[in-house]
Chain A
């Protein structure tokens, strides 16, 4: 099932760490302070086996930014953060003293922007390192419960694999953990592995 070996995972962690570094740079310029984003782990699991534990969906609701990427492989990507924690981070991003209630009015745009920065930084790092081009759709933001998210992720039989990145994000004194989920078809996963193999073959 899992076509990725230890070296593939090592390469992906390194690629997504570069993406996280780019996202942290962009966000640090917005908040004028140091931002820490790290990708402590990457794993590939069967879509039918994902559950609230594998996605750390312990207490919700969750904010989900969805974006489609297409190119040598296609992926539906979903960035998941606990909504309340994400809103506090968005508050820091907007540099205001707004209450969470007031901030909720801007939640959609701000979360799309946060998601857009992180998703595109990760995907552009992958495209640069593996030397291909990916096109992206506009980000879409929804708030959902853990059950709704899991139902949505599992319903598409054409995407039997999920690539899960665990993301730790800290801005100023706030920190949160989230997940970036790639829904992949068998063909897309095979194509991704092929591109990683090609990249690694230059340095073996």
Chain B
């Protein structure tokens, strides 16, 4: 038996339960077979990724503990195959640049069907 390669594992990293709910709902509406896990901080995300490597990750920036961009940098240094989208309300150019420098993209909150499509397209196009 081979694992179905179309089934992807996604890690949602956000300290807001509402945001995690929104991202999960929108993603599952388009890809009901994806396996989704959640972390509420950058530190928790780093631990989870080490234990169970996801294909994709959405990462908030402003969270208690380390910023999401720092967590993304540490995760990508160790696991460069993961595709990460930074989901943030902080949409200044400085953050877009930081996201690009990490090899990720920044998608502006609020989480909507449209912003989720941007994230999914980035994930799939990066394959």
Q: A14 touching B16 by the CB < 8 A rule?
A: yes
Residues of B with C-beta under 8 A to A204 = 21
Complex interface residues of chain A between 33 and 72 (CB less than 8 A to chain B): 34-35, 38
- Contacting pair A25 B92 (CB below 8 A): yes
How far, in angstroms, from A76 to B125 measured CA to CA in the complex?
A: 47
Does A82 sit within 8 A of B, measured CB to CB?
Answer: no
Shortest distance between the CB of A192 and any CB in chain B (Å): 15
B91 to chain A, nearest CB (A): 5
Question: Residue A18 contacts which of B17, B93, B94, B109 (CB distance < 8 angstroms)?
Answer: B109
- For A, the interface residue count at a CB cutoff of 8 angstroms equals 25
Q: Does B37 contact A (CB under 8 A)?
A: no
List B residues 1-45 near A (Cβ within 8 Å).
Answer: 16-19, 21-22, 24-25
Give every chain A residue within 8 A of B19 (Cβ-Cβ): 14
Q: Is the CB of A203 within 8 A of B22?
A: yes
Q: Which of A5-13, A101-109, A142-150 contacts B (4 or more CB under 8 A)?
A: A5-13
SS class, residues of chain A in contact with chain B: helix
Contacts of B17 in A (CB 8 A): 7, 10
Asked if A94 is an interface residue, CB under 8 A from chain B, the answer is no
Interface centre among B16, B17, B18, B24 (most CB of A within 10 A): B18
Flag if A203 contacts B16 (CB, 8 Å).
Answer: no
In the complex, which residues of chain A have a beta carbon less than 8 angstroms from the beta carbon of B117? Answer: none
B contacts with A, residue count (CB < 8 A) = 19
Asked if A21 and B22 make an inter-chain contact with CB atoms under 8 angstroms apart, the answer reads no
**One of A14, A19, A34, A38 near B18 (C-beta < 8 A):** A14
* Residue contact A25 to B18, C-beta cutoff 8 Å: no
Contact A34 B91 (CB under 8 A): no
A200 touches B18 (CB 8 A): yes
Within 8 A of B (CB), among A77-101: none
A129 at the interface (CB under 8 A from B): yes
Flag whether A22 is at the interface (Cβ < 8 A).
yes
Cα distance, A19 to B89, chains bound together (Å): 8
Task: Report yes or no: A21 in contact with B18, Cβ–Cβ below 8 A.
Answer: no
A19 — nearest CB in chain B belongs to which residue? B89
B58 at the interface (CB under 8 A from A): no
Q: Does B110 contact A (CB under 8 A)?
A: yes
16 contacts between A and B (CB under 8 A): A7-B18, A14-B16, A15-B110, A17-B109, A18-B109, A18-B110, A19-B89, A20-B89, A21-B88, A21-B91, A21-B108, A25-B92, A28-B94, A35-B92, A38-B62, A203-B25
17 extra interface residue pairs, beta carbon distance < 8 Å, beyond A10-B16, A203-B18, A203-B24 = A7-B18, A10-B18, A14-B16, A14-B89, A14-B109, A17-B89, A18-B109, A19-B89, A20-B89, A21-B91, A21-B108, A22-B89, A24-B92, A34-B92, A128-B110, A200-B18, A203-B22
Closest 3 A/B residue pairs (Cβ): A21-B89, A18-B89, A203-B25
